[in-house]
Amino acid sequence: MDSILVRGGKPLSGQIPIAGAKNACLALMPATLLSDEPLTLTNAPRLSDIKTMSTLLQSLGAEVSSLQGGKVIAMSSHSLNGDRADYDIVRKMRASNLVLGPLLARLGEAVVSLPGGCAIGARPMDIHIDALTALGAEIELKDGYLHAKTSGGLKGGRVALRFASVGATENTLMVATLAKGTTVIENAAREPEIVDLAECLTKMGARIEGAGESRIEIEGVDSLHGATHSVVTDRIELGTFMLAPVIAGGEVECLGGRLGLVSAFAEKLAEAGVEITETAAGLKVRRNGEIPRAVDVVTEVYPGFPTDLQAQMMAMLCTARGTSVLEERIFENRFMHAPELVRMGADIEVHGGTATVRGVDRLRGAPVMATDLRASVSLILAGLAAEGETRVNRVYHLDRGYEFIEQKLGAVGADIERVREE
Ligand code: EPZ
């Protein structure tokens, strides 16, 4: 398994290009199942999760071609020959559950493995099941698989999500585009990835009002046609790289970044004393000489502070001036980066869903273990400022969500390299 070595203490300077959003692309790709005409995605990120989704779609009979080094994904689901998402794929990537809705809408049936737990939490599917059932699906759990079918056909209806689940909103949205009649989703997730999916589905002929708000109304249509869609910029990669100059010092311009994608996060950075300037090309971030101030963080559904940036923010707060309290309200176990940061000299106390971080002068490099995608990148960020060498092991977690991370950080002056191990 590869590891990444970071030698800290070098301020950063230059530009980092931000890729298309992993979490948008993982919802956009299953949308190809809704139509027998080609769907092409541009500005796609080059990530292992995208390859996993491609493999899953191909296993269902879809044609998926990766063009221009992976930046373009050309798909066609003209002839599907399967309706099953196997456990060995779904357990590796929970987003595989996003084929449930499209398969049900297109074929009238689907067999999708329950994802099982993952490092950050149990991650059940109850909200997906309740929502699709409200639209005419009959779903039962057998041998660890969700067996979904619709004998009477999918009908529009009112779906009130008990929690604004991103995935459940996406599955429901995709089913509703082909259900008979009108669907209203209440308490829908409002993430930019939902808006991006709705924009793509609209290009395919869907009739959707209110994506990005808590109430989305969808008028079902008989069929969807092909389209070409550019994946929205990845706000989590953006927020991650905005923190790099804050932690390491210097100034970095994140190309393609827009404040609107990261407003709650940017407000917190401004509160910590970080200077953020929106330029024609993106977002310029610099630590204006001062050590950042400690700030408190509570993760919320969008437009609140994103849970996917909590670990990265904690890495920055380890050397901020003062004490910060971080409350994780979305997942039940998303502080696994904390003990690894403590190995680097951070002063962090975790009690349940709350972590208290007391700023220290400097972190010290150490061998640390990546446990999940965002925890991994928080350790890389911490290594940028730590004295000496940090070795992050099991970086396959990292490769799921960050393309070419050592090249992107190396290009702005970080001393970072990948060590390939058999
Ligand atoms: C999406 O996961 C993202 N993944 C996650 O990003 C992100 O952390 C999460 O949304 C929250 O923003 C993709 O988009 C591929 P949820 P998703 O359904 O859809 C509970 C990353 O690092 N829940 O909004 O699975 C669930 O257990 C990943 O890129 C139920 O209880 O998230 C969790 O506690 C990690 N029942 C909370 O809701 C359900 O049926 C949020 O889950 C569904 C969810």
According to CATH, the topology of domain 22-220 is: UDP-n-acetylglucosamine1-carboxyvinyl-transferase; Chain (3.65.10)
The enclosing H or E element of 6 equals strand 3-7
Pairing of strands 12-17, 250-255: parallel
Mean pLDDT along residues 167-183: 98
The pLDDT value given to residue 375: 93
Which CATH code for domain 3-19+233-419?
A: 3.65.10.10
Q: Indicate whether 83 pLDDT > 90.
A: no
- 39-71 burial, b at 16+ Cβ within 10 Å, e below that, comes to bbbebbbebbbbbbbbebbeebebebebeeeeb
Q: Give the mean pLDDT of the chain.
A: 95
The answer to whether 400 and 48 are in contact (CB under 8 A) is yes
Gap between the Cα atoms of 294 and 297, Å rounded:
10
Q: Whose CA is nearest to atom 35 of ligand 1?
A: 308
The CA-atom distances, in angstroms, between 325 and each of 282, 344, 413 are 30, 19, 31
Which parts of 86-191 fold into alpha helices (H)?
87-90, 100-107, 126-133, 166-176
Domain boundaries along the sequence of the chain = 3-19+233-419, 22-220
Range in 16-25, 251-260, 286-295, 316-325 with the lowest mean pLDDT: 286-295
Q: Give the pLDDT of residue 115.
A: 83
Ligand 1 environment, Cβ below 6 A: 22-23, 26, 94-95, 121-128, 163, 165-168, 307-308, 330-331, 373-374, 401
* Residue that has been written with the tokens 């109304």 in this structure: 217
Return the CA Rg of the chain. Answer: 21
Number of H helices, E strands in the chain: 14, 24
Pocket test for ligand 1, best of 96, 130, 166, 190 (most atoms within 8 A of CB): 166
What distance in angstroms lies between residue 292's CA and the mean position of ligand 1's atoms? Answer: 30
Residue % of the chain over a pLDDT of 70: 100
Indicate the top mutation candidate among 91, 163, 185, 310 to test ligand 1's pocket, ranked by most ligand atoms within 8 A of CB: 163
Nearest alpha carbon to residue 198 among 229, 223, 226, 154: 229
Report which residue type is found at 68.
Answer: Q
Residues marked active site are found at 118
Q: Residue 333 Cα, ligand 1 centroid: separation in angstroms?
A: 13
Q: Report the alpha-carbon distance of residue 212 to residue 15 in Å, rounded.
A: 30
For atom 27 of ligand 1, the residue with the nearest CA is: 123
Q: Whose CA is nearest to atom 30 of ligand 1?
A: 124
pTM over 0.75: yes
Ligand 1 centroid to Cα of residue 167, in Å, is 6
Which pLDDT value is given to residue 116? 73
- Among protein residues, the one whose CA lies closest to atom 13 of ligand 1: 23
Please report, for residues 11, 242, 249, 404, the alpha-carbon distance to residue 14 in angstroms, rounded to integers and kept in the order given: 10, 12, 12, 16
Asked whether the domain spanning 22-220 has the same topology as the one spanning 3-19+233-419, the reply is yes
